[in-house]
Amino acid sequence: MKIAIKTLKITGLVILTLVCLIGVYLLSAYVLSRISVDRESQTQSDVPVYILTNGVHTDLVVPIKNEQIDWSQEVKFVNTTGKDSLFEYVAFGWGDKGFYLETPTWADLKASTAFKAAFALSTSAIHATFYKSMREGADCVKINISKEQYSRLIKYIQESFTTDSQGHLMYIQTNANYGKEDAFYEAKGSYHIFHTCNTWANNGLKSCGQKASLWTPFDTGIFYQYTSK
């Protein structure tokens, strides 16, 4: 009987500790995501960039080609299942490779995948999706940045990819595509609860001097900066 009571107490303590840790995490995420990193003084509005969310995950969307870079030289149209080349924009999202390739819907989520992602135990990938046009709305915000700022964003995105010995992006061959316009590439870094797909996008905005959250693991933190003021 004493052993059973002691076991219950330990179990209760463990559960209480987990609840408290989750509470601290969520509270920190809320507070820090509401603290703004100010945008740089505007110079020129040369390049249209979009911030896009699917309700969970944030992508950074840029023109496929301008005088500074042609993304299609490495993020190839032929790597998509549709192999269409009539696009104007490409969206980049960074995240856990297991989530991307093994979890097409939440119903497919495995406990092992979630555990590995939460504690940086798996590798990462970049999801590239092509678009013919962009439509601003609650899920899509347009910002205009200067060429110099775009150069910094280009560098940030490029440095997130893993490259081979020749410096080329490493395409991931898979049938886990979300549609006919997307492809996956090997990426640097590990996803975990303090560095999520949205943290990556938020840091990308910081890299090119745009409004961002001090820190956020959720897309709501990013969009708060653009829709609440």
Q: Is residue 24 part of a domain?
A: no
The proportion of the chain whose per-residue pLDDT surpasses 90, expressed as a percent, equals 71
Q: Is residue 11 part of a domain?
A: no
Q: In which residue are the tokens 């699917």 written?
A: 54
d(CA 155, CA 149): 10
Residue 176's contacts (CB-CB under 8 Å, 6 or more residues apart) are 100, 101, 102, 104, 184
**Cβ atoms of residues 139 and 214 within 8 Å:** no
Q: Is residue 98 part of a domain?
A: yes
CB neighbour burial string for 96-114, b if at least 16 within 10 angstroms, e if fewer: bbbbbbbbeeeeeeeeebe
Q: What is the pLDDT of residues 2-53, one digit of tens each?
A: 676 666 666 666 676 777 778 888 898 999 999 999 999 867 889 999 999 9
Helical spans, DSSP H, in 80-170:
97-102, 111-118, 147-158
Q: What is the pLDDT of residues 192-216, one digit of tens each?
A: 999 999 999 999 999 999 999 999 9
Q: Is residue 77 part of a domain?
A: yes
Q: Is residue 99 part of a domain?
A: yes
Q: Is residue 20 part of a domain?
A: no
Q: Is residue 15 part of a domain?
A: no
Q: What is the pLDDT of residues 41-100, one digit of tens each?
A: 867 889 999 999 998 899 999 999 999 999 999 999 999 999 999 999 999 999 999 888
Q: Is residue 18 part of a domain?
A: no
Count: domains in the chain: 1
Closest CA to 178 of 130, 137, 135, 132: 130
